Structure formats: C-alpha cells, structure tokens
Amino acid sequence: MATSASAVLSKAVKQQYMDLPQGNKVQAMYIWIDGSGEGLRCKTRTLNYEPKSAQDFPEWNFDGSSTDQSEGSNSDMYLVPVTMFRDPFRKDPNKLILCEVLKYNRKPAETNLRHTCSKVMSMVEGQRPWFGMEQEYTLLGTDGHPFGWPSNGFPGPQGPYYCGVGADKAYGRDIVEAHYRACLYAGVDICGTNAEVMPAQWEFQVGPSEGINMGDHLWVARFILHRVCEDFGVVASFDPKPIPGNWNGAGCHTNFSTKEMREEGGLTAIEEAIERLAKRHTYHIRAYDPKGGLDNARRLTGHHETSSIHEFSAGVANRGASIRIPRAVGQEKKGYFEDRRPSANCDPYVVTESLVRTCLLKEEGDAPVEYK
C-alpha cells in the first residue's frame, strides 16, 4: 500500500532532537481553516512565555493567496487566536491555538464561519445548547486506495467490520488509538471511538460540548487526526462517499439538546424542534456539507443507513430517518435527538448554528435571518 515518503524517516532519530530541552521558550502552533472550507493549515512561532489562555497569544498573519483566501496583490490575512489546547506532538509547555481568519479590512474571511456561529450561540446561551458530533472518516493510502484493502479487488462484504476486532476486521487501529490519546492529552472533548461499517472506516465522537465549543473541539480533533495520519504515512478522508457502490458513506451525525429537553417532560420540546426541522429540510441540506448539498447527494440515497436527501423523516431508533430519537429518550420522555443528515466533511459551526436557528430562534424559510 502507498504510504508517504516522510513516514519512513526514522522516528527514533527525530526523538533525539525532540528530547532536547527548550529552555523557557514555547512553540505555539497556529491552526486555521483554509479557503476550501474543509482543509486545515498550520504554522508555528516561538513565544517567550507559556500562554494560559487564548487571550495570551499575539495575533499573527499569513499569505492568503496561498490558501485560496485572498489575491496576491493584497494577500495578508489576520490570525486571531480563539481556543487553546495542549500540543500532543511537542508536549507541554507547547500549545495548539485555533484561530479565526480576518481579511485585510478586519472582516471575517468567507470560510470563517465561526464568527457568525459564535454570535448566534451567544443569543441562546441561557438555553444551554449541548451538541455531540459523531465524526466518521476513512483511512486511505497516499494513492487514494482504502487502507488494508486488496490492491486488486475488494474486501469481504460489510457486516463483520462494525465495532469489529481482529486483523481481518479492524484496519488501522494503531492510528485510532494514537488519535484518541492525543485528543485526551490536548484537552479535546473526545468521548469515544469505534470501527465503522465499511472496512478502513472509523468514527470518533466529540461532546457533549456547549455552544461554540462544539465546533472548536471538532475542528481540532480533525487537525490532530491529520497529524497522526501524517506520522503513519496515510491519509484521513472525510469524503461523504469515498467508495461508490454497495459501501456505506461517511457522515457526521449530530446530537442536540437544550436544558429544557434534558429535564422531565423534555420530549415535548424535542418533538417541537423536530416539527420545525421538518419545515426547513432544504435549508439544512444546504448547510450540511460545504458544497450546498452536492456532496451529501452521493451519500443520502435512502440506502446504507441513510435517509433520502429529498425527504424529511423522523422516528424512534430509526437509522434510516433524517432525525432519530434514541429508544431510551422515547422511554424516559427526555434527553436529545440525533440529526443524521450532516456529511463527514461538514463545517460543525454551520451545522450547530443552523440547528440553533431553526429549533431555538424559530427561524423559517430557506435563508438565515440576519440579526443586528
């Protein structure tokens, strides 16, 4: 299987240098979302102190013409630090810092979808919106071939791989374990992981996270996954349908609740939210992948545990519905619901914002409301 050239470099030799003391200096890796709305970029600077919060980091800049975020004639973009994590690759006292991107005029870049999400979340913070996102992904060789699949053919049919164990069922567990531990070290709200239905496909779950934290923690979990895969020489793909045909696609099922939904009798609030979602299906489909629904059209076919992209549906314990109410929630009459429509490559800021707009701000129609 094709792996990257850097994966064969000696990690033992590298470790000799990583073990060197760094004095009172701190390496800060700045992370941001690029012009594709899906890719992540990063670069590092040295600080003369250890930051204790995001506010302790200086703003920085980068060449937006090289990330599809500006023209070369006016290319400087601002990196505004927003959320800090421990660095699991360089270790303490070094940091990862997630940043918003601003243009030359200090307005949010087109793919800085965090900016609006943060404002919307602040409008409903009294309702304590909690989210949990189930991020599916597929491990690929650098040639795009699924990790562990035969070079000239296909593995056995789906069935034994979901939550599977054994060399013939679980492909790439070393990467999954490394990613899980790195997220825990960093302080990401990772809460679980499992092998998925298609071989070489896995899932990790982030949450429960409140408000804007959901998007921050999922983006950094994705960044850490890309870095771990880089060390192993393979690629993590968030494509919603990486392999055409009779193979499961990859989603990012999103669990959502409010304080009212979690309390006694909360099922009534859940059902009211689902009624509002039913009337705004088109708006959510456009919000749930970076290409306005075109990516999800390959996945949401009504087959392989998905609903049809053209129809809205809801049900208890139904994995073929747009919205699933877990069986325990139906029995206890309180809890949360799961929106199964978001694609694996969705922007979590857009997904969580759209749920809040429809369910809590009670917006209607096919366009978001602009608030002053």
Q: Which domains does the chain have, with CATH numbers?
A: 24-112 (3.10.20.70), 121-359 (3.30.590.10)
Q: What is the pLDDT of residue 256?
A: 98
Q: What is the pLDDT of residue 71?
A: 79
Burial label for 210, CB within 10 Å (0-12, 13-18, 19+), is middle
Q: What is the pLDDT of residue 264?
A: 97
Average confidence (pLDDT) over 304-324? 91
Q: Which of 153, 129, 156, 151 is nearest to 141 (CA)?
A: 151
User: Rounded CA gap, 88 and 341, in Å?
Assistant: 32
Q: What is the pLDDT of residue 317?
A: 81
How many other C-beta atoms can be found within 10 angstroms of the C-beta atom of residue 46?
Answer: 10
User: Rounded CA gap, 337 and 274, in Å?
Assistant: 9
Question: Which residues contact residue 291 at a Cβ distance below 8 angstroms, ignoring those fewer than 6 apart?
Answer: none
Average confidence (pLDDT) over 8-17? 94
Going from the C-alpha of 312 to that of each of 30, 72, 318, the distances in angstroms are: 40, 44, 13
Q: What is the pLDDT of residue 212?
A: 98
How many residues are recorded in the chain?
372
Average confidence (pLDDT) over 248-258? 97
- Asked if the model's pLDDT at residue 272 lies above 80, the reply is yes
Cβ(97)–Cβ(32) under 8 Å? no
Average confidence (pLDDT) over 134-157? 94
Q: What is the pLDDT of residue 2?
A: 86
Helices (H), the chain: 11-18, 114-123, 173-186, 213-232, 259-262, 267-278, 281-287, 294-297, 327-332, 348-359
How many other C-beta atoms can be found within 10 angstroms of the C-beta atom of residue 14?
Answer: 11
Worst-scoring range by mean pLDDT, 182-191, 240-249, 311-320, 351-360? Answer: 311-320
Q: What is the pLDDT of residue 289?
A: 95
Q: Residue 223's Cα: distance from chain center in Å?
A: 9
- Asked if the model's pLDDT at residue 72 lies above 80, the reply is no
Average confidence (pLDDT) over 153-159? 92
- Asked if the model's pLDDT at residue 1 lies above 80, the reply is no
Q: Which of 249, 188, 255 is nearest to 223 (CA)?
A: 188
Would the pTM count as exceeding 0.95? yes
